[in-house]
Amino acid sequence: MTTPAHDTIASLYPVFAELPEPLRQSCLTAAQELSVPAGTTLFDAGQPCPGFPLVLAGSVRVVKSAANGRELPLYRIFPGESCIISSGCLLGHQPYTARGVSEGETRLLLLPAVLFEQLMAVPAFRAFVFDLFAERMADLMTLVEEVAFRKLDQRLADLLLGHGRVLYRTHQQLADELGSVREMVSRLLKGFAEQGLVRLGREQIEILDPEGLRRISGPR
């Protein structure tokens, strides 16, 4: 008999329909279902990787933390996707190198590490994992270019655009997105406000001059 989680995994991860039936049933039987509230640390740097996560609802934010407390967002995992850091840790038998935190109410299945090794022997599943690697690597290369070659004011201006007239974020949330600190982001936002580009409110930013922000953001 199938469960709602099993029905969801079939719709979100069609690769499971291509597995040999005994292996597919082993996955559905052995998978651990987790439901966690927002802000739950699902894994952290240095911890062993217990298995391969499949997100069914919500999302997971993966960040790299520095000793001074600053964080750099690496990527997000949405339903139908998985975590390439988890995959890499399982393939290399290494501990996690980053931290994963749930965003909103999040539900996922965790496939045991021993089953992941069996799954990687199936061409369809192996292609699914390496396709994710390719997509994430492209995203991470874009992130490296952003951090290395664009100034913080350019990246902040770019982050403010594309969310409508009013952006409902705190200065700390913006700093977290940019891998910076709140004081620097607040200083830049104050400068934007003095130029008439934005109007600052409580946990919200009104965009007054999007074209001006685009000029600051510069070409991509």
Strands (E), the chain: 32-36, 41-43, 51-65, 71-77, 99-112, 166-167, 198-201, 204-207
For residue 71, how many other CB atoms are within 10 A of its CB? 19
What rounded mean pLDDT belongs to the chain? Answer: 90
Quick one: pLDDT at residue 6? 66
Residue 4 has pLDDT above 80, yes or no: no
pLDDT at residue number 1? 38
Over residues 76-84, the mean pLDDT reads 93
> Where along the chain do the CATH 2.60.120.10 domains lie?
4-148
What's the rounded mean pLDDT across residues 161-166?
91
Q: Looking at domain 150-217, which CATH architecture does it have?
A: Orthogonal Bundle (1.10)
pLDDT score at 67: 76
The pTM of this model reads 0.74
Check residue 148 and give its pLDDT: 76
Region 4-148: CATH code: 2.60.120.10
Q: What is the pLDDT of residue 5?
A: 62
Residue whose token pair is 């969310």 = 163
- Position 180 scores a pLDDT of 82
Write the pLDDT tens digit of every residue in 179-210: 788 899 999 999 999 999 999 999 999 999 99
Give the span between the Cα atoms of 192 and 44, in whole angstroms. Answer: 36
- In the chain, residues under CATH classification 1.10.10.10 are 150-217
125-159 per-position pLDDT tens digit: 999 999 999 999 888 888 888 777 889 999 999 99
